[in-house]
């Protein structure tokens, strides 16, 4: 996997529902082999997505371990696209960035004393190439994504990345300084541009890549 990056309608909805229900039952690697059951609810998490409005959120419960040697303590919730080369994946990512991605992202830490909402942040990008981290509103609503780096070796280790493909990650939210534990993510695409429905994408939950 080459790590790149930084920072009609009823038919599409039916397809989205079928894919989402299938991915909750079993997740497959890029090569088509099923992910081992022990890994399906552990970070990194990958789920197929159709980029259309979702009537109900996709809910993913997972266990979070400490990051590997290449990961930071920041967890990203992102869209992932890929192509046979960088030009293809870059073009797909640019289409999503330019169109915007209105979505609702909420993360809960589960515990014996009850559920605790996890604060999320987003990055507001500026024209000069810099960015500012801002808190995500309590309702979890975000509108844009930014290119980001993920711990790619962790994805390759569990078979969730094909070394022959080029991947781009479009982060929608960060959860910083994450302790290990049990979590529940709620993710819902709200009102995307119709032409995004043709872009094959995945929901990705993974640690960010450590800066060199």
Tokens encoding 14: 């039916």
Q: Which residues pair with 203 in a beta bridge?
A: 47, 79
The pTM (predicted TM-score) of the whole model is: 0.82
β-bridge pairing 201-209 and 116-117: unpaired
β-pairing verdict for 181-189 and 131-135: unpaired
Per-residue pLDDT of the chain (212 residues; tens, 9 = 90+): 544 444 333 444 444 444 444 444 345 556 555 555 546 799 999 999 999 999 999 999 999 999 999 999 999 999 999 999 999 999 999 999 999 999 999 999 999 889 999 999 999 887 777 788 999 999 999 999 999 999 999 999 999 999 999 999 999 999 999 999 999 999 999 999 999 999 999 999 999 999 86
Domain limits for position 115: 2-209
Q: How many CA atoms lie within 13 A of 100 on its CB side?
A: 10
Q: How many folded domains does the chain comprise?
A: 1
Contact 29, 35 (CB under 8 A): yes
Euclidean distance between the first and final Cα of the chain, in Å?
18
59-68 CB burial, b ≥16 within 10 A, e <16? ebebebeebe
Rounded to whole angstroms, the Cα distance separating 67 from 151 reads 9
């Amino acid at each position: 996997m080459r790590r790149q990056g930084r920072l009609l309608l009823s038919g599409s909805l039916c397809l989205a529902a079928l894919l989402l229900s299938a991915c909750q039952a079993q997740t497959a690697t890029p090569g088509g082999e099923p992910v081992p059951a022990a890994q399906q609810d552990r970070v990194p998490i990958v789920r197929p997505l159709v980029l259309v409005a979702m009537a109900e959120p996709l809910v993913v419960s997972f266990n979070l371990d400490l990051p590997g040697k290449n990961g930071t303590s920041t967890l990203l919730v992102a869209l992932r696209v890929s192509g046979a080369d960088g030009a293809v994946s870059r073009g797909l990512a640019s289409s999503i960035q330019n169109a915007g991605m209105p979505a609702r992202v909420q993360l809960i830490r589960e515990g014996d004393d009850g559920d605790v909402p996890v604060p999320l942040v987003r990055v507001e990008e500026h024209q000069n190439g810099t960015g500012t981290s801002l808190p995500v509103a309590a309702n979890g609503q975000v509108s844009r994504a930014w290119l980001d780096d993920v711990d790619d070796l962790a994805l390759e280790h569990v078979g969730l990345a094909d070394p022959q493909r080029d991947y781009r990650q479009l982060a929608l939210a960060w959860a910083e300084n994450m302790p290990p534990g049990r979590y529940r993510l709620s993710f819902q695409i709200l009102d995307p541009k119709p032409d995004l429905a043709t872009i094959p994408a995945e929901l990705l939950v993974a640690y960010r890549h450590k800066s060199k």
